[in-house]
Amino acid sequence: MALWVVGTIVHTFCGYWRTQIYIAGFGLFNYVATLLIPNFAWIERLTLLEIPLRMYCIAGVPAIVLILGLAQRRKLA
């Protein structure tokens, strides 16, 4: 499902090829990327590195959208 979503989004923004080609390309990329994982400890370290990005997505993006929405509403009033 995730590959289909990514393929559809990429096709929407730069639709040079059919969606199935993007899906196959991302699937192949994911397969090769998983073959390059050396061990489970490496995955645990990578998870620790992505925690700040997740916190930004959970708190930062909604806060920015709220601030922009309030600024837009004040501009219209």
46 and 16 share one domain: no
Number of domains composing the chain: 2
Query: Which percentage of the chain shows pLDDT scores above 90?
Result: 60
Q: Is the pTM of this model over 0.85?
A: no
Residue 45 has pLDDT above 70, yes or no: yes
77 and 43 share one domain: yes
17 and 47 share one domain: no
Q: How confident is the model at residue 11 (pLDDT cuts 50, 70, 90)?
A: confident
Residues 69 and 33: their CA atoms lie apart, in Å, by: 39
69 and 58 share one domain: yes
Single out the residue of 1, 20, 31 nearest to residue 10, CA to CA: 20
> Interhelix angle for 2-13 vs 19-35, to 10°?
130
32 and 43 share one domain: no
User: Which pLDDT belongs to residue 35?
Assistant: 95
Residue 18 has pLDDT above 80, yes or no: yes
Residues 23 and 66: their CA atoms lie apart, in Å, by: 34
Cα of 4 vs its chain's centroid, Å: 13
